[in-house]
Amino acid sequence: MYHKVRRTSWRHLRHTYLVDIGSMIDVQLMEVSKLYENCLLDPPYPRTRFFEIEIDEQRDNKINTAIFQNIVPVHAKQNSNWHFLRSLIRPDSWAVTERIHFPTDIGEAQWLYTDDFNILFLSSGGRHDLDMLVNLITGKLNTIVQSYHSGKRIPSEFENQLACRTAIRSIFSEGIDRAFRDAAVYRDFGLLESAHEKKNLQFPSGAEICSHHGWARVSPEQAAHLHVDIDEIEDLRDTSWLTA
């Protein structure tokens, strides 16, 4: 909807896009901390229809690489045209009035889906031209917005991780031994025998163990395929080791 460019160094440009998703949605927030586990913040949530996307463009000789930096839900307003004596001094433009991204007591609050866009950028190769990266980001944003409108919201990457951690905690809530005690593999192969059971356990005799040594039971059909001509075994032809 609105795009501006600012040079940050000789070979770097900062592209800022203001995107209108068309209708208001809840902006669910998570608290990000370096000292504690990240957590979901409770409602009520702010609502908006505008998102600001920041992309850096790095120029290296003839190669331009676009690098995703951030996506932030914002509040924005449109400034009217400025005229002087019927001449247009400045066309109408958009201005961000508030970014929904703020510090907390233990960290900062950010949009729940921010990490999804970082993963999208990295998982798709991390080296894009500007148009390709913008299309990837706006496509992902559109998918998230459509899921809100459909009533079946796509879970964020953080929510997926949270669900996995909750499941693991539930499994190990009664300790590691209890977690595996009910598993089929553990029941079949991991049962521990007491000293009394080991003492009374009847082991086969040596004669019984050796009685089947070198023997195998096969059907006549299988035996028909087991014929081997000893003269064809190369290793048996060399008998020099007998006189060594």
Q: Could you list the pLDDT tens digit for every one of the 244 residues in the chain?
A: 788 888 888 888 999 999 999 999 999 999 999 888 899 999 999 999 999 999 999 888 778 889 999 999 999 988 765 555 565 555 567 788 999 999 999 999 999 999 999 999 988 787 788 899 999 999 999 999 999 999 999 999 999 988 888 887 777 666 666 556 655 555 554 444 555 555 565 655 656 555 555 555 656 666 666 565 656 666 656 666 666 5
Domain assignment present for 7: yes
Domain assignment present for 9: yes
| Token pair belonging to 241 | 């080791």
| Token pair belonging to 107 | 């960290």
The angle formed by the CA atoms of residues 10, 129 and 138, to the nearest 5 degrees, is 115
Domain enclosing residue 121, as ranges:
2-154
Domain assignment present for 195: no
Domain assignment present for 202: no
Nearest one of 74, 65, 54 to 6, comparing CA atoms: 54
Domain assignment present for 148: yes
DSSP E strand boundaries for the chain: 2-9, 12-26, 29-32, 39-40, 47-60, 63-79, 82-84, 87-90, 93-99, 102-103, 108-111
**pTM score:** 0.65
Inter-axis angle of helices 157-171 and 114-123, nearest 10: 100
Domain assignment present for 77: yes
Look at the chain and report how many structural domains it folds into.
Answer: 1
Where does 69-214 have alpha helices with state H?
114-123, 130-150, 157-171, 176-181, 184-189, 195-200, 206-211
Domain assignment present for 25: yes
